[in-house]
Amino acid sequence: MIDKNDKIVVKGKIVDDHTRCVHYHSPLDVIAIKFNCCNQYYPCYYCHLEEANHPATIWEKTAFSTRAIFCGICQNELTIEAYKACGYHCPFCNTPFNPRCVNHDHFYFEE
């Protein structure tokens, strides 16, 4: 369900080693999202929009068991289900995630 993977590459306009980007770089902005359309990790929708040569597609509910969230602190992957149920704290390292990311769920996940 949730697994560690040391070979994850995060694309985009990253500003540090914890997946923060030029668009979102608060202490809580430490996740990257694997985009369904290209199977690549980006820190945010805007990084994908600026760098990918295709439109983003959302993850359907039937795919929420997919590992598609990357913790930039401990470098573990979470399933979409685990991310949505984690209370905005990494289940591995307890690092807080930005709870305001819920405002952008429609960019990434089927509602």
**Over the chain (111 residues), what is each successive 10-residue block's mean pLDDT?**
64 96 97 97 97 96 98 97 97 97 95 89
What integer pLDDT is reported at residue 50 of this predicted model? 96
Rounded-to-integer distance, Cα 20 and Cα 60, Å: 25
Rounded-to-integer distance, Cα 75 and Cα 10, Å: 11
What integer pLDDT is reported at residue 6 of this predicted model? 57
What integer pLDDT is reported at residue 3 of this predicted model? 43
Conformation bin of residue 107: beta by default, left when phi > 0, alpha when psi is -120 to 50:
alpha
| 3-class secondary-structure state, position 34 | strand
Q: What is the DSSP letter of 69?
A: E
